[in-house]
Amino acid sequence: MRWTFVNNNFTEAENAFIQTNDLALQRGYAVFDYFRTLNHQPLFLDDYLDRFFNSARELFITLNHTPQEVKAIILQLIQKNNIPQSGIRMIATGGYSPDSYTPVQGNFILQQQPLQLPDAVKFEDGIRIMTHPYQRDLPAVKSINYLMGIWLQKQLKEKGLDDVLYFQHNIISEFPRANIFIVTPDGRLATPAHNILAGITRKKILEFAGDILPTEVRDISVTELKQAPEVFMTSTTKRILPVTEIDGVRIGNGKAGAFTRQLYTQFLQQLEAVTVSGHNPF
Amino acid sequence: MRWTFVNNNFTEAENAFIQTNDLALQRGYAVFDYFRTLNHQPLFLDDYLDRFFNSARELFITLNHTPQEVKAIILQLIQKNNIPQSGIRMIATGGYSPDSYTPVQGNFILQQQPLQLPDAVKFEDGIRIMTHPYQRDLPAVKSINYLMGIWLQKQLKEKGLDDVLYFQHNIISEFPRANIFIVTPDGRLATPAHNILAGITRKKILEFAGDILPTEVRDISVTELKQAPEVFMTSTTKRILPVTEIDGVRIGNGKAGAFTRQLYTQFLQQLEAVTVSGHNPF
CATH number at residue B240: 3.20.10.10
Residue of B227, B224, B259 whose CA lies nearest to B242 = B259
Same domain, A193 and A233: yes
Evaluate whether residue A278 is within a structural domain: no
Same domain, A205 and A68: no
Same domain, B233 and B109: no
Smallest Cβ–Cβ distance between B137 and the set A23, A109, A147 belongs to A147
- Give the minimum alpha-carbon distance from B93 to chain A in angstroms, rounded to a whole number: 8
Same domain, A206 and A105: no
Same domain, B172 and B237: yes
Q: How far apart are the first and last CA of chain B?
A: 26
Check CB contact under 8 Å for A24 and B28.
yes
Q: Which residues of B touch A144 (CB under 8 A)?
A: 25-28
Residue of A162, A132, A160 whose CA lies nearest to A148 = A132
Q: Which residues of A touch B102 (CB under 8 A)?
A: 150, 153
Domain extent for B262: 120-272
B282: confidence class by pLDDT, cuts 50, 70, 90: very low
pLDDT tens sequence across A114-127? 999 988 889 999 99
- Residue B281 confidence (pLDDT) above 70: no
Secondary element (H or E) of residue A93: strand A86-93
Q: Which residues of B touch A143 (CB under 8 A)?
A: 28, 147
Evaluate whether residue B281 is within a structural domain: no
* Rounded CA separation A249/A42 (Å): 38
Evaluate whether residue A282 is within a structural domain: no
Same domain, B86 and B131: no
Smallest Cβ–Cβ distance between B60 and the set A20, A59, A154 belongs to A154
Same domain, A83 and A165: no
pLDDT tens sequence across B101-158? 999 999 999 999 999 998 888 999 999 999 999 999 999 999 999 999 999 999 999 9
Same domain, B99 and B209: no
- Residue A180 confidence (pLDDT) above 70: yes
Same domain, A250 and A153: yes
Q: Which residues of A touch B32 (CB under 8 A)?
A: 26
Same domain, A109 and A142: no
Quickly count: other Cβ atoms within 10 Å of residue B28's Cβ.
27
Same domain, B124 and B104: no
> What is the number of structural domains in chain A?
2
Q: The domain spanning residue A91 has which CATH number?
A: 3.30.470.10
Sign of torsion over alpha carbons A148, A154, A157, A158: negative
Nearest CA in chain A to B19: A17
- Of B74, B90, B114, the one marking the end of a domain is B114
Smallest Cβ–Cβ distance between B146 and the set A29, A93, A151 belongs to A29
Q: Which of B18, B100, B150 to mutate to test the interface with A (most CBs of A within 10 A)?
A: B150
Smallest Cβ–Cβ distance between B144 and the set A13, A28, A150 belongs to A28
Q: Which residues of B touch A94 (CB under 8 A)?
A: 150
Same domain, A129 and A266: yes
pLDDT tens sequence across B177-210? 999 999 999 999 999 999 999 999 999 999 999 9
